Amino acid sequence: MLDLLTIGEEIATHRKASKLTQVQLAARSRVSRATIAALETGAMRELGYNKVMQILSALGLDLRLTAANLGRPTLEDLRKEDGR
């Protein structure tokens, strides 16, 4: 299940890979740096859809709906197991 904590962790990973600071991402997404920091650290329990989408868009990411995988591993799961 995709939760806000997982989204925050992915945002932090992609932000760092893009060599952006939280301040730069905040400016690009028009969301406060404090919100970015709270999201990345798991301190934020709720965040509106529009703000999440603004942050993801600023990183060149999107949010997709797919059918539940019924417990089968995803490609990301397999890559993690393989150490990639």
- Reported as a single tens digit per residue, the pLDDT across 33-71 is 999 999 999 998 899 999 999 999 999 999 887 777 667
Give the gyration radius of the chain's Cα atoms. 14
What percent of the chain shows pLDDT beyond 70?
A: 94
In this predicted structure, what is the pLDDT of residue 80?
A: 79
Q: Which of 58, 48, 53, 51 is nearest to 25 (CA)?
A: 58
pLDDT of residue 65: 79
pLDDT of residue 72: 74
Given a cut of 90, whether residue 82 has pLDDT beyond it is no
